[in-house]
Amino acid sequence: MTGLVAERSPEAVNPKLPTGEIEVVVEHYEVLNECEVLPFPVSDEEQMRKVSEELRIKHRYVDLRRPTMYQKLAVRAACVRNIRQYLDESGFLEIETPIMTKSTPEGARDYLVPYRLEPGKFYALPQSPQQYKQLLMVAGVERYYQIAKCFRDEAQRADRQPEFTQLDLEMSFVTQEDVIEVAEGVTRFVCNRVIEEFDLPLSPVSEFPRLTYDDALARFGTDKPDLRFGLELFDVTEIASESEFGVFRSAVEAGGIVRGIRYPGGAALSRKQIADMETFAKEFGAKGLAHLPVAASNDEEAKGIARFFSKEQLAKITQAASAEPGDLLLFVADRQSVTLNVLARLRNEIGDRCGLRDPMRLAFCWVLDFPLVLWDEEEGRWEASHHPFTSPKASDLEYLESDPGRVRADCYDIVCNGVEWASGSIRIHRPDVQARVFSLLGIDEASQQERFGHILQAFRLGAPPHGGIAPGIDRLVMLLLGEDNIREVMAFPKVGGGYDPLMDAPSEVDAAQLRELGILIETDPED
């Protein structure tokens, strides 16, 4: 199209458009391709809210025509560009590691790729470049990074996809403090540069408070705390054990705990609203949700569970909760894992209802000193808190076999607004320690050699102390743009179950392909 650019007449000016004051008086045009009716109106953001996500992803090439979607891709590109600039200038070397590798499950299920030349053998797509980057440290590459594609066959959530992108980073001859310094540096650099470049309505990223794993659980019920607001949990287990409230006493006698959360101004909630909160708690495993309105005076009629406690006990509870008249205290009494999980979710829900989770702020923090292993009740065995290559703290190594639950790890996570953004650790570099950890996880010596012989042998050939971290790029973009779902910041995401409506994948393949790979599909006769 060619024509003359001219000013619009005053009545035709459109202040909502960047070009709203001018127009092109067309002199010649040529139709390059015809367009059918679009599946949804890309120029109307209000109407787009009514379009189903699956339809948008099925026609993602149309969805991406929207300026808002284009900006998300631009922000993502800017994040990657600034990551590379910071690390390149800090002496890191960008190295690509293989996508097709050996299956050595690290927690989630692997995606497997059949090996045509020897039917029955498989490659695996990497859950992370973990072992390759450790081998690079053995090779003498002291500062490595990669914008890495990773794959995990696990349940879908708003902040998860079966394939995702992370910054993978590793350093030799370092301590935990060295890795923390680099990770904080790249985070501030990237976030603040992108916030400024795109004029995002966010406060600059500055401090990174530090919490231990135990402290995070005690105060917030989770190792992924949202520090944009307070409302810390409080413990009334001792008071509950001496009360007349049978539900609390029974929970304590069974080895459980009683903890609570304050709902500011919640005493004004209706019975239905309180019942809704209880329903919410039960969705995450609570047997019930006790409530206690904080009275304005001693003469006020006792409500909720107040009648089961003496005035002295009520005063202690109110003090423990830092509560004020008009607040509502909510309690869960159960096993520690259930109680903390429910209250952590309830805390975020209250934060949302009270408008305390400031969308204009990114609250980063470190969570440190994770346990090396956690006991899996269903499997009846120890499992790695993060992954099997995480180093135990030197001071706790003596308890590895005698008291594994006591052993802390040289492990550290970056959490932002209640979302884990990065996870890292100092790695095991001694073959004897690595073998001991494998044994603790139930991997016998023969399996160690079969699955991890390559890395054990590398450790015998002069592996240096090393450590690293792996921040999620998709999640960072999601946080910067205030999105609730990671699919919004990926060009071609998948929906529930890993289904791709655009390509209609996964799909069946030709019988000839299966024969060539030595694969026979068996179906359950009951299906």
Q: Which domains does the chain have, with CATH numbers?
A: 2-59 (no CATH), 67-214+363-493 (3.30.930.10), 229-353 (3.30.1360.30)
* Torsions phi, psi for 407 (to 5 deg): -80, 125
pLDDT tens series, the chain, 527 aa:
899 999 999 888 998 888 899 999 999 999 999 999 999 999 888 889 899 999 999 999 999 999 999 999 999 999 999 999 999 999 999 999 999 999 976 567 899 999 999 999 999 999 999 999 999 999 999 999 999 999 999 877 777 899 999 999 999 999 999 999 999 999 999 999 999 999 999 999 998 999 999 999 999 999 999 999 999 999 999 999 988 899 999 999 999 999 999 999 999 999 999 999 999 999 999 999 999 999 865 556 668 899 999 999 999 999 999 999 999 999 999 999 999 999 999 999 999 999 999 999 999 999 999 999 999 888 899 999 999 999 999 999 999 999 999 999 999 999 999 999 999 999 999 999 999 999 999 999 999 999 999 999 999 999 999 999 999 999 999 999 999 899 999 999 999 889 999 999 999 999 999 999 999 988 776 65
CA distance 58 to 39: 10
Spell out a b/e string for 272-303, using b for 16 or more CB atoms within 10 Å of the CB, else e. eebeebeeebeeeebeebbbbbbbeeeeeeee
pLDDT of residue 377: 85
Q: Is 358 exposed, middle or buried (0-12, 13-18, 19+ CB in 10 A)?
A: middle
- Supply the pLDDT for residue 301: 63
Give CB contacts under 8 A, 24+ apart, made by 240-249.
Answer: 240/333, 242/313, 243/308, 243/309, 243/313, 244/308, 244/309, 245/290, 245/305, 245/308, 245/309, 247/288, 247/290, 247/333, 248/290, 248/308, 248/331, 248/333
Q: What is the pTM of this model?
A: 0.90
| Position 448, amino acid | Q
Beta bridge partner(s), residue 520 = none
Most distant pair of Cα atoms in the chain: their distance: 89
Quote the pLDDT of residue 525: 64
CB 63 within 8 A of CB 45: no
Burial class (CB in 10 A: 0-12, 13-18, 19+), 397: middle
What SS3 class is residue 80? helix
